[in-house]
Structure 1
């Protein structure tokens, strides 16, 4: 099929652009070495899904991603989807912070056009590098009429995932991305993107955080709780004066007594989430009394993104809680 409108391909680096001196190196490599044009050049058949327009936003290991870069990315994507000659946007991104970056775009870009984020678990120089096929399948998703209106999508290993739910579940496996609670929303097979579900939560065109307007973002801290945690750990975090706090609690977002006593009277919003990686954190009687917000089914990393954006609109805890039920 001949396409007339472009896919804008934005490169940010990551393993998909990584290189090593040995084809056997699967973890000892340098991320963000190849440009986006060099990455595209090693994808057989990608020309069948053009025309393309490429942009190199940055070329970094995604462990070095910052809110400032994601804000620049959101504005770059918004500018692309606002153009009449653009059908979709594909973004290459490192996998370590892909779950956060994709959700940030899900909330801050106003469009119904497909936005697909893709990465790789093996560098471009590795035996059986997964980047070329992942990127080709990202193009196939971007060209699918079924991808319209589904928000930001994440693809690796032939799976299609919603940005709200997707998490990295394995350190090195090519099938690292998914969600144990919700599963994949679709798959790519034989060049065809097939969808079975979609997110019913607000996103992209329906998001009140889009298009991104803020020039600066509030600081929100994320603390992982554990058995025997000393309150001094949290004291150290609070001394940095964050505007909000997300706690990756035990089980159902449970806070140890010494931690609960410390945070129940804070003058900043506190979100209870869970470190378990699956399931819902629902409200309990003490939450409303102490002003705690619950994360619903959002992973702690994503709860931090939503609280950050929520604080650009309001400090009211009831209103912030509604965001967690709506987005």
Structure 2
């Protein structure tokens, strides 16, 4: 039987509430990894399972420091012959950011699967137990390794890079926008419909000891350009602009962008629109203004990529290529 490792970080999947019908007021991360497994006796048929709990967080409190610690722990565990696959429990609020960070940094030698829940474990019809059981089944499927980190929820399997939170409270809140699932879970039967791409993670080398500050600034009707000035003044090493449409830059933001670029602070154009991304030179002359385009990435993914790129010392002339490859 495969040797599976459960790494619990908290979240609603480990949440507890006094009222079994109230899914909005609960304490996230209240239950331990062992408690979650104890509620799933069926899991013992999937593999030999051990558990670790590096954090017990509401994922709104997850930080880049936690990402680095989690990635370092996972790299160490994945290198061990005592681990054949890993499942990570996480809160849904920032799962897409942690998942994308792991997509960029983890080797693809063994399955890594994230899962979560929208209802606390004490709720009627809690979604966490089945999500966790299916995630363990997916982690026991060796062919899942080459797809990179995956997200399993609501009977569907998504690549970490394609999964986001699309609804504020529905049980099937997690899913893709521009890409569909790569497989399905029917009970504990896993069917993967996409072959492994064989690609290595974008940041396969040594992890940086810390990640620099990169801010995401939203454009909206009448948004002041001094948002950029304030970000620079407060020490941002990079800026991602969540712009309207296909990365449309308000005219009165041009001087502030130019000032940031003149200080060698990378400025990335992204879009607040959920689908489509922003291509270089689209709607804006990136070459003339010294800006970068996020490609297919969301603003949050562009931020994660830029933080890693700057933390790893990637030179300015390679940043655009890095964003395109992420």
TM-score by length of 1: 0.94
Q: Which residue of 2 aligns with 1:128?
A: 125
Q: Which residue of 1 aligns with 2:14?
A: 17
Q: Which residue of 2 aligns with 1:318?
A: 317
Contact 2:153 2:172 in 1 (8 A): yes
Q: Which residue of 2 aligns with 1:238?
A: 232
Contact 1:293 1:317 in 2 (8 A): no
Q: Which residue of 1 aligns with 2:267?
A: 270
Alignment map for 1:1-327 (pairs within 5 Å) = 3=1, 5-197=2-194, 202=199, 206-266=200-260, 267-284=264-281, 286-314=285-313, 316-327=315-326
Contact 1:18 1:123 in 2 (8 A): yes
Indicate the larger mover: 191-200 or 52-61.
191-200
Q: Distance in 2 between matches of 1:48 and 1:224?
A: 48
Q: Distance in 2 between matches of 1:222 and 1:299?
A: 11
Indicate the larger mover: 188-197 or 289-298.
188-197
Distance 1:211 1:55, change over 3 A: farther
Query: Any idea what SS the aligned residue of 2:190 has?
Result: strand
TM-score by length of 2: 0.94
Q: Distance in 2 between matches of 1:83 and 1:153?
A: 20
Measured against aligned partners, the alpha-carbon deviations of 1:185-206 in whole angstroms (never above 9, x if no partner) come to 211113222122368595xxx1
Instruction: Please report how far the alpha carbon of residue 54 of structure 1 lies from its aligned counterpart in structure 2 after TM superposition.
Output: 0.5
Instruction: Please report how far the alpha carbon of residue 264 of structure 1 lies from its aligned counterpart in structure 2 after TM superposition.
Output: 2.8
Q: Distance in 1 between matches of 2:215 and 2:195?
A: 30
Query: Any idea what SS the aligned residue of 1:68 has?
Result: helix
Q: Distance in 2 between matches of 1:174 and 1:261?
A: 44
Measured against aligned partners, the alpha-carbon deviations of 1:126-168 in whole angstroms (never above 9, x if no partner) come to 1100000000000111111320211000111111111112111
Instruction: Please report how far the alpha carbon of residue 294 of structure 1 lies from its aligned counterpart in structure 2 after TM superposition.
Output: 0.8
Q: Distance in 2 between matches of 1:290 and 1:316?
A: 18
Gaps of 5+ in 2: none
The two structures, once aligned, show a CA RMSD in angstroms of 1.6
Query: Any idea what SS the aligned residue of 1:59 has?
Result: coil
Q: Distance in 1 between matches of 2:166 and 2:317?
A: 32
Contact 2:147 2:197 in 1 (8 A): no
Gaps of 5+ in 1: none
Query: Any idea what SS the aligned residue of 2:84 has?
Result: strand
Number of aligned residue pairs: 321
Distance 1:78 1:219, change over 3 A: same
Q: Distance in 1 between matches of 2:275 and 2:289?
A: 25
Distance 1:260 1:43, change over 3 A: farther
